[in-house]
Amino acid sequence: GEDVEQSLFLSVREGDSSVINCTYTDSSSTYLYWYKQEPGAGLQLLTYIFSNMDMKQDQRLTVLLNKKDKHLSLRIADTQTGDSAIYFCAETQTLHSGGGADGLTFGKGTHLIIQP
Amino acid sequence: DVKVTQSSRYLVKRTGEKVFLECVQDMDHENMFWYRQDPGLGLRLIYFSYDVKMKEKGDIPEGYSVSREKKERFSLILESASTNQTSMYLCASSLRVAVPPIQQYFGPGTRLTVT
Protein backbone atom coordinates (compact mmCIF):
# COMPACT_ATOMS: atom_id res chain seq x y z
CA GLY A 1 0.00 0.00 0.00
CA GLU A 2 0.93 3.64 -0.07
CA ASP A 3 3.39 4.86 2.51
CA VAL A 4 5.01 8.23 3.07
CA GLU A 5 8.11 8.52 5.22
CA GLN A 6 9.71 11.58 6.78
CA SER A 7 11.94 12.26 9.74
CA LEU A 8 10.20 13.46 12.90
CA PHE A 9 12.36 16.44 13.87
CA LEU A 10 14.55 19.09 12.25
CA SER A 11 16.33 21.84 14.16
CA VAL A 12 17.77 24.88 12.37
CA ARG A 13 19.07 28.30 13.32
CA GLU A 14 17.01 31.35 12.52
CA GLY A 15 18.13 32.75 9.16
CA ASP A 16 19.46 29.43 7.86
CA SER A 17 17.77 27.28 5.24
CA SER A 18 15.62 24.33 6.31
CA VAL A 19 15.36 21.23 4.17
CA ILE A 20 12.61 18.75 5.00
CA ASN A 21 12.78 15.42 3.20
CA CYS A 22 10.15 12.85 2.32
CA THR A 23 10.01 9.53 0.48
CA TYR A 24 6.84 8.09 -0.99
CA THR A 25 5.90 4.78 -2.55
CA ASP A 26 3.07 5.34 -5.01
CA SER A 27 4.73 6.06 -8.35
CA SER A 28 1.33 6.82 -9.91
CA SER A 29 0.81 9.92 -7.73
CA THR A 30 0.22 12.79 -10.13
CA TYR A 31 0.64 15.42 -7.43
CA LEU A 32 2.61 15.57 -4.20
CA TYR A 33 1.84 18.01 -1.44
CA TRP A 34 3.27 19.81 1.55
CA TYR A 35 0.94 20.80 4.39
CA LYS A 36 1.84 22.94 7.40
CA GLN A 37 0.36 22.65 10.90
CA GLU A 38 1.00 25.54 13.25
CA PRO A 39 0.66 24.98 17.01
CA GLY A 40 -2.96 24.48 18.06
CA ALA A 41 -4.30 24.54 14.52
CA GLY A 42 -5.36 22.21 11.74
CA LEU A 43 -3.31 21.55 8.61
CA GLN A 44 -3.08 24.05 5.77
CA LEU A 45 -1.92 23.38 2.23
CA LEU A 46 1.47 25.01 1.77
CA THR A 47 2.36 23.99 -1.77
CA TYR A 48 2.14 21.12 -4.24
CA ILE A 49 4.06 19.89 -7.26
CA PHE A 50 2.93 18.09 -10.39
CA SER A 51 4.80 14.84 -10.94
CA ASN A 52 6.23 15.85 -14.31
CA MET A 53 8.07 18.77 -12.69
CA ASP A 54 11.46 18.60 -10.99
CA MET A 55 11.22 21.84 -9.11
CA LYS A 56 8.73 24.46 -8.04
CA GLN A 57 9.63 27.77 -6.39
CA ASP A 58 7.27 30.03 -4.49
CA GLN A 59 8.94 32.93 -2.65
CA ARG A 60 10.98 31.37 0.18
CA LEU A 61 9.78 27.84 -0.61
CA THR A 62 11.43 25.47 -3.07
CA VAL A 63 10.06 21.99 -3.74
CA LEU A 64 12.31 19.43 -5.37
CA LEU A 65 11.02 16.17 -6.78
CA ASN A 66 13.17 13.19 -7.75
CA LYS A 67 10.65 10.85 -9.29
CA LYS A 68 13.18 8.09 -9.95
CA ASP A 69 14.06 7.86 -6.26
CA LYS A 70 10.52 8.82 -5.10
CA HIS A 71 12.03 11.60 -3.03
CA LEU A 72 10.42 14.95 -2.30
CA SER A 73 11.96 17.83 -0.40
CA LEU A 74 10.84 21.22 0.88
CA ARG A 75 13.43 23.95 1.28
CA ILE A 76 12.58 27.05 3.31
CA ALA A 77 15.05 29.88 2.77
CA ASP A 78 15.88 32.34 5.55
CA THR A 79 13.95 30.37 8.17
CA GLN A 80 12.00 32.55 10.61
CA THR A 81 10.42 31.84 14.00
CA GLY A 82 7.02 31.90 12.29
CA ASP A 83 8.08 28.85 10.28
CA SER A 84 8.07 26.77 13.46
CA ALA A 85 5.43 24.11 12.75
CA ILE A 86 4.89 20.49 11.75
CA TYR A 87 5.29 19.89 8.02
CA PHE A 88 3.49 16.98 6.38
CA CYS A 89 4.32 15.43 3.06
CA ALA A 90 1.32 13.84 1.29
CA GLU A 91 0.48 11.86 -1.81
CA THR A 92 -2.84 11.12 -3.47
CA GLN A 93 -4.74 8.10 -2.16
CA THR A 94 -7.66 6.46 -3.91
CA LEU A 95 -10.37 6.06 -1.30
CA HIS A 96 -13.49 5.40 -3.30
CA SER A 97 -13.59 2.91 -6.16
CA GLY A 98 -16.21 4.99 -7.94
CA GLY A 99 -13.61 7.70 -8.41
CA GLY A 100 -13.71 11.40 -7.78
CA ALA A 101 -13.32 11.14 -4.03
CA ASP A 102 -9.59 10.78 -3.73
CA GLY A 103 -7.98 11.45 -0.44
CA LEU A 104 -4.43 11.97 0.74
CA THR A 105 -1.91 9.75 2.51
CA PHE A 106 0.11 11.84 4.93
CA GLY A 107 3.55 11.23 6.35
CA LYS A 108 4.01 11.36 10.12
CA GLY A 109 5.11 15.00 9.97
CA THR A 110 8.42 16.75 10.62
CA HIS A 111 8.60 19.14 13.57
CA LEU A 112 10.67 22.14 12.48
CA ILE A 113 12.35 23.70 15.52
CA ILE A 114 13.92 27.13 15.14
CA GLN A 115 16.89 28.03 17.31
CA PRO A 116 17.48 31.75 17.96
CA ASP B 1 -12.86 32.57 3.38
CA VAL B 2 -13.28 28.82 3.61
CA LYS B 3 -14.14 27.44 6.97
CA VAL B 4 -14.27 24.10 8.75
CA THR B 5 -15.43 24.29 12.34
CA GLN B 6 -15.41 21.65 15.06
CA SER B 7 -17.81 21.74 17.96
CA SER B 8 -15.22 21.67 20.75
CA ARG B 9 -11.51 22.45 21.05
CA TYR B 10 -11.13 20.42 24.24
CA LEU B 11 -13.27 17.61 25.60
CA VAL B 12 -12.91 15.39 28.67
CA LYS B 13 -15.06 12.26 28.88
CA ARG B 14 -15.22 9.19 31.08
CA THR B 15 -14.59 5.63 29.95
CA GLY B 16 -17.76 4.08 28.57
CA GLU B 17 -19.47 7.37 27.68
CA LYS B 18 -20.92 7.96 24.23
CA VAL B 19 -19.10 10.86 22.59
CA PHE B 20 -20.16 12.99 19.64
CA LEU B 21 -17.68 15.14 17.72
CA GLU B 22 -19.28 17.50 15.24
CA CYS B 23 -17.78 19.08 12.15
CA VAL B 24 -19.35 21.69 9.88
CA GLN B 25 -18.04 23.11 6.61
CA ASP B 26 -19.41 26.08 4.72
CA MET B 27 -17.84 25.39 1.32
CA ASP B 28 -20.46 23.00 -0.13
CA HIS B 29 -17.79 20.27 -0.32
CA GLU B 30 -18.84 16.73 -1.18
CA ASN B 31 -16.02 14.99 0.71
CA MET B 32 -15.52 15.05 4.45
CA PHE B 33 -12.94 13.21 6.55
CA TRP B 34 -12.20 12.35 10.16
CA TYR B 35 -8.57 11.79 11.22
CA ARG B 36 -6.90 11.22 14.52
CA GLN B 37 -3.46 12.64 15.17
CA ASP B 38 -1.08 11.06 17.68
CA PRO B 39 2.57 11.90 18.40
CA GLY B 40 4.89 9.82 16.27
CA LEU B 41 2.00 8.34 14.29
CA GLY B 42 0.93 11.34 12.22
CA LEU B 43 -2.58 11.50 10.78
CA ARG B 44 -4.60 8.34 10.44
CA LEU B 45 -7.90 8.27 8.56
CA ILE B 46 -10.85 6.98 10.59
CA TYR B 47 -13.77 7.44 8.18
CA PHE B 48 -14.65 9.52 5.19
CA SER B 49 -17.84 10.47 3.41
CA TYR B 50 -18.21 11.36 -0.27
CA ASP B 51 -21.89 12.31 -0.19
CA VAL B 52 -24.83 12.68 2.16
CA LYS B 53 -25.54 9.38 3.92
CA MET B 54 -22.50 7.79 2.23
CA LYS B 55 -19.52 6.68 4.29
CA GLU B 56 -16.52 4.46 3.97
CA LYS B 57 -14.05 3.11 6.48
CA GLY B 58 -10.58 4.49 6.63
CA ASP B 59 -7.50 2.87 8.14
CA ILE B 60 -8.64 2.72 11.77
CA PRO B 61 -12.47 2.60 12.00
CA GLU B 62 -12.70 0.23 14.97
CA GLY B 63 -14.51 1.79 17.91
CA TYR B 64 -15.91 4.64 15.82
CA SER B 65 -18.97 5.34 13.69
CA VAL B 66 -20.01 8.36 11.64
CA SER B 67 -23.12 10.13 10.46
CA ARG B 68 -23.71 12.45 7.54
CA GLU B 69 -27.34 13.51 7.34
CA LYS B 70 -26.63 16.90 5.77
CA LYS B 71 -23.97 17.88 3.27
CA GLU B 72 -22.32 20.41 5.55
CA ARG B 73 -22.15 18.28 8.70
CA PHE B 74 -20.12 15.17 9.49
CA SER B 75 -20.26 13.63 12.94
CA LEU B 76 -17.85 11.20 14.56
CA ILE B 77 -19.29 8.96 17.26
CA LEU B 78 -17.44 7.02 19.90
CA GLU B 79 -20.06 4.50 21.04
CA SER B 80 -18.23 3.65 24.27
CA ALA B 81 -15.17 5.80 24.83
CA SER B 82 -11.97 4.10 25.95
CA THR B 83 -8.68 5.55 27.19
CA ASN B 84 -6.89 4.52 23.99
CA GLN B 85 -9.15 6.93 22.12
CA THR B 86 -7.53 9.88 23.88
CA SER B 87 -6.19 11.85 20.94
CA MET B 88 -6.45 14.93 18.73
CA TYR B 89 -9.29 14.57 16.22
CA LEU B 90 -9.15 16.54 12.98
CA CYS B 91 -11.99 17.02 10.52
CA ALA B 92 -11.35 17.97 6.90
CA SER B 93 -13.35 18.59 3.75
CA SER B 94 -12.59 18.79 0.03
CA LEU B 95 -14.30 19.14 -3.31
CA ARG B 96 -14.86 15.95 -5.24
CA VAL B 97 -12.52 16.33 -8.21
CA ALA B 98 -11.92 13.92 -11.03
CA VAL B 99 -8.37 15.13 -11.50
CA PRO B 100 -5.97 16.36 -8.81
CA PRO B 101 -4.64 18.55 -7.27
CA ILE B 102 -6.68 17.86 -4.17
CA GLN B 103 -6.90 20.39 -1.39
CA GLN B 104 -8.25 19.32 1.97
CA TYR B 105 -9.37 22.06 4.36
CA PHE B 106 -8.93 21.25 8.02
CA GLY B 107 -10.72 22.29 11.17
CA PRO B 108 -8.71 23.37 14.25
CA GLY B 109 -9.06 19.97 15.93
CA THR B 110 -10.67 18.60 19.07
CA ARG B 111 -8.39 17.34 21.80
CA LEU B 112 -10.27 14.52 23.48
CA THR B 113 -9.19 13.08 26.80
CA VAL B 114 -10.87 9.90 28.05
CA THR B 115 -10.33 9.21 31.74
φ/ψ of residue A83, rounded to 5: -85, -5
What's residue A1's pLDDT? 47
The vertex-A33 CA angle with B112 and B103, nearest 5°, equals: 65
Which residues, in sequence order, are bridge partners of residue A73? A21, A64
> Which regions of B14-109 does DSSP assign to beta strands (E)?
19-25, 31-38, 42-51, 54-57, 64-70, 73-78, 87-94, 105-106
Length, in residues, of chain A: 116
Q: Please tell me what DSSP assigns to residue A13.
A: E
How far is Cα of residue B62 from the mean position of the Cα atoms in its chain?
Answer: 14
Q: Cβ of A108 and B42 within 8 Å?
A: yes
Q: Cβ of A92 and B50 within 8 Å?
A: no
Q: What is the pLDDT of residues B58-108, one digit of tens each?
A: 999 999 999 999 999 999 999 999 999 999 999 999 988 766 788 899 999
| pLDDT mean across residues, chain A | 90
Is the per-residue pLDDT at A100 higher than 70? no
| pLDDT mean across residues, chain B | 94
pLDDT band at residue B114 using 50, 70 and 90 as cut-offs: very high
Cβ of A65 under 8 Å from any chain B Cβ?
no
CB contact at 8 A, A83 and A112 = yes
Chain B residues whose CB is inside 8 A of the A48 CB are 101
Q: Cβ of B100 and A96 within 8 Å?
A: no
Q: Cβ of A43 and B56 within 8 Å?
A: no
